[in-house]
Structure 1
Amino acid sequence: MSRFRSIWQASLNATKKALTWNLEDLMPPAERLIFSFNSKEELKKWHLYSDSEYGGLSSASLEISEVDNGLKGTGVFSGNLSVDLAEDSKWNISRGGFCGMRSKKFDGFIDLDSYDTIALKLRGDGRSYISTIYTENWVNSPGQLEDNSWQAFVHVPKDNWYIAKIPLARYLPTWRGNVINAEMEMNQARILGISLSVNAEGGVPGARTGTGDFKVELDWIKAIRTGEYT
């Protein structure tokens, strides 16, 4: 009888371990790296845009920082914000003074449904930047072919490295930079891309504003699960 009990107990323990392993396999990790900025190859996943596409005079670049002693580099998004228009501009834009970096579309989409926060490790200049998430268009409005976009401000303190954590619930639906006054829920399971941009005006109270130079360094962007916003 004791031998039977030993075999039964061993079988039960093995079953419990198998169930535990299966649960661990099903549970995504607490954080997911979306982008790193430590090589020129990584920067090829991004493209730049600015008001210069519409006759403005703002400019931007995205480069790898210089590294010493074998340390990894970081991405440096920098440039100059201007609200002026080129003299030969054929455009009539109402708002200039912006630059941005947007990721190229993923091969399909990524699923962030198991996470509640976007985290960015960056070092900046005291300005406010705009973090944008693009999701698959599920509004299906007539003539609307663009991806849905969701935006939140990121105040980047000057000089020191800083990890900004933005709850996904804080991202607001927008249409061409303007907040949509509608009740919408982000489709976190179908993320198509991400961008980081800066405007000459606007932002959180206390942040640096105005035309002139801007610069922010980026180490990585991650999705994390804190459990605080679920």
Structure 2
Amino acid sequence: MTEKNRAGWDAGRFIRTLAYFEAIPGWSWLKQILPGVADKPENYLSGGKQVGVILVAGATGGVGKRVVQRLLERGYQVRSLVRDKDKASSILGDVETYVGDITQPETLTPEMMANVRAVICCTAVRVQPVGGDTPGREKYNQGVKFYQPEIVGDTPERVEYLGVKNLVQAAAQYWQQNPSGEKIVFDFSQPTPQLQQIWGAVDDVVMGGVSQSEIRFVEGTALFTGNVSTANSGGFASVRTKNFTSPLDLSGYEGVTLRVRGDGKRYKFFLRTESSWDGMAYSYSFDTVANEWITVRIPFNQLTAVFRAKTISDAPAIDTSKIRSLQLMLSKFEYNGELNPQFSPGGFVLQVESISAYGSAKPQFLLVSSAGVTRPNRPGINLEEEPPAVRLNDQLGGILTWKWRGEEAVRESGVPYTIIRPCALTEEPGIQPLVFDQGDNIKGKVSRDSIAELCVRVVEQPQDGNLTFEVKADPNYGAFAANWQNLLARLKRD
């Protein structure tokens, strides 16, 4: 850079830009020792939270509360379906709640299902030892010591069958009426403080230029505006998100839509899968119509891999499950030295109302049922060798029979589903190695921690067919992480 050029260059703004995006070498170390620069959780956005809601029914139960916890740890947006909001608050903390009752279908409204992409149903009747689950009976919860059980509260027919049927019908109706699968990634109509803190300007000052831009949130939109200059060999202005604390997962979608109003200029949109400051990105150029709102549709298979403004011919296709950041840019360059045909230096304005994912991502309904549901009254069954739930099915109001009816309601609903049938649930801590089976013959036990983790893993997978299977723990089978996906792949679809 010549002395003449350097005179117009704002070195302070260059440093502030790098600091805002934590791109200064050694920044991770510096922020630990400098006052006022430590991480602020509200300034970081978890990618997983942005695309679709996961509804957890039975969210205050033994499995449900663990499912909620694991989803939140992974950055998902969770909505808990509960009957008692105060109880939910005491157990789950600050989680979005919807007050409803699966046994009362009129409470399962479209509002409950709004933007829901998956339902995890962990509801169950309450079973406890006769005389109550009193202190000193911890071994009962470990599946070790047996106490005569009884049903408390609603009947198995109302909860395990009618309630599950009501819930899956509510989900089916919502998904049928919202078939496009479009999910909001960023909604600028109601910007939160967190949203305002994640976007920042990245202009050609980082290359020695003097262009300036900003993003402001006005009139229910994000306003990307500024002045772009070709001085000092510059010529671009942009706004970009900080890296998401967990990647934005858009797997299963076909692309992204932008709802924008521009000034007739051609802009670029970038997705980045690398957390590095100046790495490869996937780009798409789009033209705007002056002062008119338009919807820009950006298919993932039409993105161009670039490093700065040069295309990368041998780059892999974008991994849409690992989106680290988003960026909007106005540049005098198109690609490989070619000029942007719609570019002119000076002021510019681009309003953005929303950024959404669109495509064929299928919704999922996951039901936590029980092993043994087909065994009561099954020919050839020796009840003396069966778990207590099978032996005491009639005494417990037909609990397994009604669970089976609930499964059938899910299968008949027409929604994509997975039905998990755990063996005896225990409070043993930790995630265990698992064994999967089909045909409803295995016996054993498994921790609620393990089932909660399995629920989250299953709902994260693309849905390629309806599935029912049983599961138990087996300490001799290897680590959970090493076997669960292979086990799923071997199962037969319903």
TM-score scaled to structure 2, two decimals? 0.35
CA contact (8 A) 1:118 1:168 kept: yes
Cα distance change, pair 190–48 in 1 and its aligned pair in 2 (3 A): same
| Correspondence 1:132 to 2:266 | no
Q: How many Å apart are 1:43 and its aligned residue?
A: 2.5
Runs of 4+ in 1 over 4 A off after TM superposition: 144-147, 203-207
| Correspondence 1:213 to 2:347 | yes
Bigger proportion of residues as helix: 2
| Correspondence 1:76 to 2:214 | no
The C-alpha deviation readout for 1:133-168, integer Å capped at 9, x for no partner, is 01147xxxxxx8855410010211110111100101
Cα distance change, pair 64–155 in 1 and its aligned pair in 2 (3 A): same
CA contact (8 A) 2:309 2:334 kept: no
Q: How many Å apart are 1:34 and its aligned residue?
A: 1.0
| Structure 1 gap segments, 5+ residues each | 1-12, 68-72, 86-94, 138-143
**Which whole-Å CA distance do the structure 1 matches of 2:346 and 2:285 have between them?**
19
Residue in 1 that maps onto 2:410: none
Residue in 2 that maps onto 1:177: 309
Residue in 2 that maps onto 1:196: 328
Q: Secondary structure at the match of 1:44?
A: helix
Residue in 2 that maps onto 1:30: 181
Query: Of 48, 51, 54, which aligns to 2:201?
Result: 48
Cα distance change, pair 187–206 in 1 and its aligned pair in 2 (3 A): closer
Q: Secondary structure at the match of 2:238?
A: strand
The C-alpha deviation readout for 1:15-56, integer Å capped at 9, x for no partner, is x969x77x96xx997012111223362222211111123331
Query: Of 209, 215, 222, which aligns to 1:62?
Result: 215
Amino acid at match of 1:108: S
Residue in 2 that maps onto 1:108: 246
CA contact (8 A) 2:261 2:352 kept: yes
Residue in 2 that maps onto 1:161: 293
Cα distance change, pair 29–147 in 1 and its aligned pair in 2 (3 A): farther
Q: How many Å apart are 1:98 and its aligned residue?
A: 0.3
**Which whole-Å CA distance do the structure 2 matches of 1:214 and 1:146 have between them?**
25
Q: How many Å apart are 1:176 and its aligned residue?
A: 2.1
Q: How many Å apart are 1:183 and its aligned residue?
A: 5.0
Cα distance change, pair 57–183 in 1 and its aligned pair in 2 (3 A): closer
CA contact (8 A) 1:47 1:103 kept: yes
CA contact (8 A) 1:46 1:101 kept: yes
CA contact (8 A) 2:283 2:306 kept: yes
**Which whole-Å CA distance do the structure 1 matches of 2:291 and 2:234 have between them?**
27
**Which whole-Å CA distance do the structure 2 matches of 1:150 and 1:98 have between them?**
17
RMSD: 3.3
Give the number of the structure with larger relative contact order, counting CA–CA contacts within 8 Å between residues 6 or more apart: 1
| Structure 2 gap segments, 5+ residues each | 1-160, 362-494
Q: Secondary structure at the match of 2:301?
A: helix
CA contact (8 A) 2:280 2:308 kept: no
Residue in 1 that maps onto 2:235: 97
Q: How many Å apart are 1:205 and its aligned residue?
A: 10
Whichever of the two has the greater Rg, that structure is: 2
**Which whole-Å CA distance do the structure 1 matches of 2:316 and 2:297 have between them?**
22
CA contact (8 A) 2:257 2:295 kept: yes
Q: How many Å apart are 1:128 and its aligned residue?
A: 0.8
Q: How many Å apart are 1:201 and its aligned residue?
A: 4.1
Q: How many Å apart are 1:64 and its aligned residue?
A: 2.1
The C-alpha deviation readout for 1:159-206, integer Å capped at 9, x for no partner, is 011110010110011112211011521111111111011113448999
**Which whole-Å CA distance do the structure 2 matches of 1:34 and 1:131 have between them?**
14
Cα distance change, pair 56–80 in 1 and its aligned pair in 2 (3 A): same
Bigger proportion of residues as strand: 1
Cα distance change, pair 43–154 in 1 and its aligned pair in 2 (3 A): farther
Cα distance change, pair 171–200 in 1 and its aligned pair in 2 (3 A): same
CA contact (8 A) 1:135 1:190 kept: yes
CA contact (8 A) 1:202 1:209 kept: no
